[in-house]
Amino acid sequence: MQAIMETAFDIVYLTTVITLGILMLKNAKGNNQYSLFGIMAITLGAGDSFHLVPRAIALCTTGLENYVVALGIGKFITSITMTIFYILLYYVWRKRYNVEGKAFLTATIYILSLTRIVLCFFPQNMWINVNPPLSWAIYRNIPFALLGFIIIVLFFNSAKQNQDKAYRFMWLTIVLSFGFYIPVVLWADVSPLIGMLMIPKTCAYVWTVVIGYRDMKDSIKA
């Protein structure tokens, strides 16, 4: 039952975000904000597929224990693409609110992102081991969490200051995604049930993409 339900959920998720991303690129019509959002959505779906597709195959065949290498490599790739996702989301924020300058802020975004990516490459992560060390999962997620926190603050303040109804919950989608993700990083190995939090975490990312897509649709109608 888990294999069927989880695989069906993942198929719907990946199909939804990638399709919406393609539609945004197709209908952006020169609007850089929507083009960036489309690329961001495709990056999200394509990156997650490297982990979710092997997981679905494992669940539907011989089990997760026989796909440790594929799952580890997929998790490694997903960790990098998720970092790129937040860099793109930062530039969506800049485009939407016509932000100029902010060299220190941009440098901070890149430093945190690069630190996260470099940490992901360290062999101590032991991506393809059955029991990778929790310590390195924490290390690589510290700059990632800081990156997310900055993006949350930026969208919260800008949406409030500009009375941006379309993006008024963008900050909340990111809060929820991290809120569900952090317990998985810390305690999923202790209690497998905590891993179920990845489902609402994924739904939060779908909400992020839907916000951008609906805003584009509304702008086209206008």
pLDDT digits (tens, 9 = 90+) for 117-160: 999 999 999 999 988 999 999 999 999 999 999 999 999 999 99
d(CA 76, CA 159): 33
d(CA 46, CA 21): 11
pLDDT band at 188 (very low <50, low <70, confident <90, very high): confident
**pLDDT value of position 189:** 73
List all residues 6 or more positions away from 37 whose beta carbon is below 8 Å from its beta carbon.
21, 24, 88, 92, 209, 212, 213, 216
Inter-residue contact 16 to 206 (CB < 8 Å): yes
Inter-residue contact 93 to 151 (CB < 8 Å): yes
**Residue type, position 100, single letter:** E
DSSP structure class, residue 162: T
**pLDDT value of position 171:** 97
Interval 1-27: pLDDT, tens = 777 888 899 999 999 999 999 999 999
Which domains does the chain carry?
Answer: 2-221 (1.20.1070.10)
